[in-house]
Amino acid sequence: MNYFDLSGKTAVVTGGSRGLGREIALAFAEHGANVVITSRKLDVCERVAAEVEALGVRALAIACHAGKWDELEAMFTSSVETFGRIDILVNNAGMSPLAPSSLETPEDLFDKVIALNFKGPFRLMALAGTHMVEKGGGSIINISSIGAIHPTPANAPYTGAKAALNTITHAFAREFGPTVRVNAIMPGAFRTDIAKSWAPERELTTPAAAKRFGEPAEIRTAALYLASDHSGFTTGSVINVDGGRYSS
């Protein structure tokens, strides 16, 4: 039995043009789902959409700023018009800039971080959850961060936003249940594009039981589990995929 069979389903993945979002989008496609790839840069979305279509399913590339409600609504409307329904939503888009201190954190930076990591996912969950209830069911997956429970001073707005995302995961699970499931994944440090800028010694001292960073493909199974119908009794949950992180 293929427990992760997503044939005939359609998924929307924000921030799907690179990193963990791209891995999740390709994993869904490999298991039969049509996929909407959305991020701010259309050309990058189109490249991933081509990879999805090469796997024998349909894809749609849409440029969208995931922190702006009007763009999210237009993106979601276009997705529904193209595929008829949306069965899976992955709120993956995010940003985690560092600041020297709380006092030196600019207001515009704070607002951008909150908009992309919390305000946008809130609105998109409201849109998708309402649509999924009308269509008889679906799965929403929020990509949080282990920083939500192991915050550091340098990225407090980001980790605060992710903690808030964890909280509303439970709220939306209650609002849209029982037909729509809402869960979150809390990744630790992964060897994605952003990791290329990290100092080499960072991995050597990582506070994780696995004693290494995750490979991007290692996010796939958690996302497939939550997207598939075989996780039908899992909702309102936050799943750690962090290598056993035990401190900040």
Residues belonging to the active site: 158
E-assigned strand segments in the chain: 10-14, 34-39, 59-63, 88-91, 138-143, 180-187, 238-241
Distance between CA 134 and CA 148 in Å, rounded? 32
Query: Residue 71 in contact with residue 64, Cβ under 8 Å?
Result: yes
Q: Report d(CA 87, CA 157) in Å as an integer.
A: 31
For residue 164, what is the enclosing H or E element? helix 156-176
Half-sphere exposure of 11 (CA within 13 A, CB side): 37
**C-alpha distances in angstroms, 174 versus 138, 145, 158?**
14, 22, 25
| Contact of 89 with 140, CB cutoff 8 Å | yes
Distance (Å, rounded) from C-alpha 97 to C-alpha 88? Answer: 28
Q: Are strands 34-39 and 10-14 parallel, antiparallel or unpaired?
A: parallel
